[in-house]
Amino acid sequence: MEVSRPQQTLAAPVRFEGVGIHLGQPARIEVLPAPVDSGRLFVSQGQEIPALHERVSSVERCTVLSAGEVSVSTVEHLLAACAGLQLDNLRILVDGPEVPILDGSAMPFVKAFLAAGVVCQERPARRHVLTRPLFVHDKNALVLALPATETQLEYSLHYQHPMITYQQVTHTSTPESFLSGLAPARTYAFMEEVEGLLERGLARGGDLSNALVIRSDGYTSALRFPDEPVRHKCLDLVALGSGSGS
C-alpha cells in the first residue's frame, strides 16, 4: 500500500531559459512555490492554465495546454519532472509560446528543482484510486490501466526500424527511480521524420543538443541508456500523472 505523503512545493523559485523545440523561439519560464491545494498552474499572458487533462488542446508531437486564446506548448517534460519529484503545487510563469526544451530530457528541471529544495506542506497529497480496469487506444497506441496497491508503469515500444524493433521498460513510481531511470532519457526522432517535421513547421528549435536522432545505422549522439527511447516514452507517461506527453 502506498503511504500517504504530504503535499510538496519548491523552497525557492527556479528560472529556465532556452529555445522551444517546435517553434524555435526563445522560451523562458519561472517556476514558483505555491500554496497547498493550488496544483500546478501555468500562467501565460496573464491567463491561468491549470495543468489538467481538460486543458489539453493538442498532442501532435508535444502536449499543448490552452485556456481561451492562450496556449503553452511542450509542457510534458517539465510536468514529468514535477510528477516524478512529487511536486504538487507550483505556479509556472511562461514567457513565450513554449516551455524550453533544454537537453530534451527532464533532467535539467529535476536538477534545478532539487538544488532549490523540495518542501513538505501541511496537508496530505490527494490520491487517485482506480476501481476498475480502463483502456484507451488510438491508431497503433494502447494504454491499459489496472487497479493496484502501488503505482508501476510498463511501457512497450514497437517499430519496424533497423535500430529499434522492440524495447520495454518497467518503472516503479518513486522519486529515486524517476531520477536514475527516466529523467535523463532524451526526446527522439527518426532521421527520415525530421525533414517532414520541418516542412510542417515543427522541430524548428531541434538540434543535436536537445534531441536524439535515430539514423538507419546508428544514433547522432551517445546513448544515455541502451534503451533510451522507451525510457523517454515512459517519462512522457509520467507527465500524464499530472494532467498532461511526446
Q: Which residues bind Zn ion (CB under 5 A)?
A: 187, 236, 246
Task: Please state the closest distance from residue 232 (CB atom) to Zn ion, in A.
Answer: 6
89 or 187, CB closer to Zn ion? 187
Beta bridge partners of 95: 28
228 or 236, CB closer to Zn ion? 236
The count of other CB atoms within 10 Å of the CB of residue 184 is 19
Task: Please state the closest distance from residue 112 (CB atom) to Zn ion, in A.
Answer: 18
Task: Please state the closest distance from residue 74 (CB atom) to Zn ion, in A.
Answer: 8
Confirm if 7 and 119 have CB atoms less than 8 A apart: no
Measured N-to-C along each axis, helices 107-116 and 76-84 cross at an angle, to the nearest 10 degrees, of: 50
Confirm if 73 and 22 have CB atoms less than 8 A apart: yes
Contacts of 235 (CB under 8 A, 6+ apart): 77, 80, 84, 105, 106, 182, 183, 185
98 or 236, CB closer to Zn ion? 236
55 or 61, CB closer to Zn ion? 61
Task: Please state the closest distance from residue 31 (CB atom) to Zn ion, in A.
Answer: 18
187 or 242, CB closer to Zn ion? 187
Measured N-to-C along each axis, helices 228-240 and 76-84 cross at an angle, to the nearest 10 degrees, of: 80
Confirm if 205 and 25 have CB atoms less than 8 A apart: yes
Task: Please state the closest distance from residue 4 (CB atom) to Zn ion, in A.
Answer: 30
Task: Please state the closest distance from residue 128 (CB atom) to Zn ion, in A.
Answer: 22
**Distance (Å, whole) CA 243 – CA 212:** 25
34 or 188, CB closer to Zn ion? 188
Q: Which three cell numbers stand for residue 127?
A: 490520491
